């Protein structure tokens, strides 16, 4: 009996690091934004040059797809003075009608409901608008190896 328990514990110990490594499987969105994979369809969070946010629904191949009634809310900036973005549909994407607050590094919370009455899924991350030193994306959407190292530190 002890050997069975030992074997189960050993198997779990080897399996868990594999799950942890897959937590941040970095993928680039079609516009170079951050892919939010906690919901179906996946979403791309992209910051435009005008500091507006574009949300694009993505299919399994990370190609643009149609929205299916999702309700999305974004809050950005410091807790003492947050900015709530409002969205309108433009060309199959949701585009914020207002802009992100000033600055290049602050928290963002994305609330995604599958429908108006559904339970929200939250994606929280730091919106760092600096260019990554090793890949072609901005830090908030970085897909290179140092992004995985940053996740391990958290």
Report whether the peptide linkage leading into residue 41 is cis, meaning its omega lies within 30 degrees of zero.
yes
Is the pLDDT reported for residue 10 higher than 50? no
Find out whether 53 and 95 touch, Cβ atoms under 8 Å: yes
Q: What is the CATH code of the structural domain delimited by 25-128? A: 2.60.40
Go through the chain and tell me how many residues it has.
Answer: 154
Q: What is the pLDDT of residue 116?
A: 80
Q: Domain locations in the chain?
A: 25-128
Mean pLDDT of the chain: 82
Find out whether 77 and 43 touch, Cβ atoms under 8 Å: no
Is the pLDDT reported for residue 46 higher than 90? yes
Higher pLDDT, 72 or 136: 72
**3-state DSSP assignment of residue 37:** coil
Is the pLDDT reported for residue 146 higher than 60? yes
Q: CB count, 10 Å around CB of 40? A: 14
């Amino acid at each position: 009996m002890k050997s069975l328990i030992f074997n189960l514990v050993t198997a779990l110990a080897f399996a868990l690091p594999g799950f942890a490594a897959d937590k941040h499987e970095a993928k680039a969105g079609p516009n170079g934004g951050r892919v939010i994979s906690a919901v179906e369809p996946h979403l791309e969070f992209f910051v435009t040059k005008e500091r507006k946010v574009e949300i694009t629904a993505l299919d399994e191949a990370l190609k643009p797809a149609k929205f299916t009634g999702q309700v999305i809310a974004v809050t950005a900036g410091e807790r003492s003075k947050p900015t709530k973005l409002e969205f309108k549909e433009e060309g199959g994407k949701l585009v914020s009608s207002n802009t992100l607050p000033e600055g290049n590094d602050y928290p963002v919370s994305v609330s995604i409901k599958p429908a108006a009455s559904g339970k929200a899924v939250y994606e929280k991350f730091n919106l760092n608008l600096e260019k990554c030193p090793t890949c072609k994306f901005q830090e908030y959407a970085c897909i290179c190896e140092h992004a995985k190292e940053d996740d391990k530190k958290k």
